[in-house]
Structure 1
Amino acid sequence: MPSRLRGVLSAALIALACFLVPFGALAAWAAYGLADTGRYVATLAPLASDPAVRNAVAETVGAGIMDEVDDRLDVRPMRGSMRPFVHDAVRSFTRTEAYRTAWDAGNRAVHDAVLRALRDERERAVTVDLAPVTAQVKRKLADEHMPLAERIPVEHTEVAVVPAVDLDRLRKGFRVLEVAGFWLPPVAVVLAVAGIAVAGCRRHAVVATALGAALGGALLALAVAVCRRLTVADVPEPSRRTAAGAVYDALTATLREASWLLVALGLAVALGAWLTGRPGPLGRRHGEPGEPAAPASAPASGRPV
């Protein structure tokens, strides 16, 4: 194969491999990181102690309980005085071991429900039941002798997590991520190896591949940061944006680590390949054999003058 054609083919293969690197990492993280229920629950478990997350949970659960009380009981004249007690009781509950257990159990239930919805064809919304939390709050209010606490109904209050109208679009995206997460990483490796193999100067090809992988990792880290900014900005209540940011950071921690690992590994390989090609102290390149020494000249014959 002509050297010019080999160079063009090598550059195309390496460029395509480096282009697939960030997409492969993203797809693998989404399809095999977020889709693992145990890993998901373990990732979110520390957030049970995060103050911003606790406040957001307290506000959501407290509002749900007050809405349920309004629907079931005629306590509208006392609503203003009950609300602080309810919210204080919920906030107090979020500092207990029972809350941390409920947090893990709730996250596991939500994750299992979302996965089942993504993998079957039923068109129904994914919901989570607030009844266990309501029962805990009711017990605490009753212990504090709050008026009408015993009359708070503990109903199966389902909060929608994923609306039914969004399921079809999410299913298609999830299936694409599963396929991409399985195939893109090995395809990128095969393309990179092929590009290096057909290159006229393999050392240059290794440097280019490593720098391209590092660039892909940097772009992935930038995309994660931009998406975080957009995600937090979409939260309507300013008080809950900190909680949304904490959840986002916890879920994307592995992806951020993978992106910076790509950057570090790519730069290290590129630097190593470049250093092995630098000229040595005698003008040779490192690793190249030296020139054979010139034979010593024979002594001149004859008598000295």
Structure 2
Amino acid sequence: MSALLITLSGLLLPFGALSAWAAYGLADTGQYVTTMAPLAEDPDVRDAVADTVGDGIMREVDVGPPMQGTVAPFVHEAVRSFTQTRAFRLAWDAGNRATHDAVLRALQDEREEAVTVDLAPVTAQVRDQLAHDHVPLAARIPVQHTAVAVLPAAELDRLRKGFHVLEVAGFWLPVAAVVFAAGGIALAVRRRRAVTATALGTALGGALLGLALSAGRALTLAGLPSDVPHPAAAAVYDALTATLRTVSWLLLALGLTVALLAWLSRYARRRPAALREPDTGTADPGSLRTDTPSSDQNMPVT
């Protein structure tokens, strides 16, 4: 029973860390925006934004084919320069916050409507920042209420069920892992060996979590469409899973440290006994007694 509980604890640990990260880390809007904020200065993300926005502008601008080759590089360079400004970082944070809020409300509500994001507040913040920086004609930038689709209505029911499962698992799986580990150690005949096994199981769980993150990164990038920039997607994946990678390394280090300490304590306990002076069994000469009967006592009495 002790071995079974310790094994279950080691198996549940990586799943519990993953569920808790998804249910509590990704579900926190402030934490999500803070996690995504450094990506506004990532070169791959900036290039992806510049290409996407630049292509969108060129589709909206009525320019004949002869002028496409002249105007397009200018537009892309202008957008790329904009990605290096404070206004872009402000728009990046505002856009991520608006998108996360919309998705989170959809997962917690029961409405069967497609999730959309109105980017008008983001545009307004960018316009105000550009006007504050004295950019010419910034005050004339139109603020239009444009609904950008984020999640289709057909996928909401499945995503809600999955999100609810993650909320339950994110709390109970780590608790179950701790309870099973404590129960396995309490039921063990040899407690030190049980502590060592639990620590090694914890280290193994951390290693498995790290391998799962690496495999998930490769599968995610391989499954993306060809028109999605892979370097930018890799930067987003790494930013979102940075906490999980830290947890995997902490579990690995904690497990190996506890296992090493348990082994050293066992060795330190046996060493004094091994160094103790052995008992040779020789008697003290002064304590010898001569109880041999004399020859007169052995003579027969006539």
Alpha carbons of structure 1 residues 184 and 76: separation in structure 2 relative to 1, 3 Å:
same
Q: Give the whole-Å Cα distance in 2 for the aligned partners of 1:301 and 1:205.
A: 51
Q: Give the whole-Å Cα distance in 2 for the aligned partners of 1:180 and 1:254.
A: 18
Asked whether the 8 Å contact 2:123–2:143 carries over to 1, the reply is no
Deviations 1:191-246 (A, max 9, x none): 11111111111111111111111111100100001101111222334771111111
Q: Which amino acid aligns with 1:44?
A: M
Match of 1:174 in 2: 163
Alpha carbons of structure 1 residues 283 and 154: separation in structure 2 relative to 1, 3 Å:
same
Q: Give the whole-Å Cα distance in 1 for the aligned partners of 2:283 and 2:99.
A: 84
- Residue 39 of structure 2 is aligned to residue 47 of structure 1: yes
Percentage of matched positions with identical amino acids: 64
- RMSD over aligned Cα, in angstroms? 3.2
Q: Which amino acid aligns with 1:200?
A: V
Asked whether the 8 Å contact 2:58–2:72 carries over to 1, the reply is yes
Q: Give the whole-Å Cα distance in 2 for the aligned partners of 1:118 and 1:211.
A: 38
Which residue among 16, 36, 50 is the counterpart of 1:24? 16
Q: Which amino acid aligns with 1:105?
A: A
Alpha carbons of structure 1 residues 125 and 195: separation in structure 2 relative to 1, 3 Å:
same
SS at match of 2:150: strand
Asked whether the 8 Å contact 2:16–2:169 carries over to 1, the reply is yes
Which residue among 260, 268, 282 is the counterpart of 1:271? 260
Asked whether the 8 Å contact 2:36–2:239 carries over to 1, the reply is yes
Question: What is the deviation of 1:27?
Answer: 0.5
Q: Which amino acid aligns with 1:247?
A: V
Which residue among 182, 186, 189 is the counterpart of 2:175? 186
Match of 2:246 in 1: 257
SS at match of 1:159: strand
Q: Give the whole-Å Cα distance in 1 for the aligned partners of 2:161 and 2:202.
A: 28
Asked whether the 8 Å contact 1:61–1:130 carries over to 2, the reply is no
Which residue among 249, 255, 271 is the counterpart of 1:280? 271
Match of 2:57 in 1: 65
Q: Give the whole-Å Cα distance in 2 for the aligned partners of 1:33 and 1:10.
A: 33
Asked whether the 8 Å contact 1:210–1:267 carries over to 2, the reply is yes
- Residue 291 of structure 2 is aligned to residue 299 of structure 1: no
SS at match of 1:276: helix
SS at match of 2:112: coil
Q: Which amino acid aligns with 1:180?
A: A
Which residue among 8, 11, 16 is the counterpart of 2:3? 11
Question: What is the deviation of 1:291?
Answer: 10
Deviations 1:146-185 (A, max 9, x none): xxxxx99764343322222222111111111110011111
Residue ranges of structure 1 left out of the alignment (5+ in a row): 1-8, 146-150
Q: Give the whole-Å Cα distance in 2 for the aligned partners of 1:291 and 1:228.
A: 61
Which residue among 196, 199, 222 is the counterpart of 1:210? 199
Match of 1:162 in 2: 151
Match of 1:126 in 2: 115
SS at match of 2:266: coil
Q: Which has the larger radius of gyration?
A: 2
Q: Which amino acid aligns with 1:283?
A: A
**Equivalent residue pairs, number:** 279
Match of 2:298 in 1: none
TM-score after normalising by structure 2: 0.81
Alpha carbons of structure 1 residues 105 and 296: separation in structure 2 relative to 1, 3 Å:
farther
Alpha carbons of structure 1 residues 165 and 283: separation in structure 2 relative to 1, 3 Å:
same
SS at match of 2:235: helix
Q: Give the whole-Å Cα distance in 2 for the aligned partners of 1:18 and 1:46.
A: 34
Deviations 1:261-305 (A, max 9, x none): 101100111111112112305428xxxx9999x999473479xxx
Q: Give the whole-Å Cα distance in 2 for the aligned partners of 1:221 and 1:248.
A: 14
Which residue among 64, 71, 88 is the counterpart of 1:99? 88
Match of 1:6 in 2: none
Match of 1:117 in 2: 106
TM-score after normalising by structure 1: 0.80
Match of 2:187 in 1: 198
Deviations 1:115-153 (A, max 9, x none): 1111111222323345545975xx89xx799xxxxx997
Q: Give the whole-Å Cα distance in 1 for the aligned partners of 2:24 and 2:44.
A: 28
Question: What is the deviation of 1:57?
Answer: 1.2
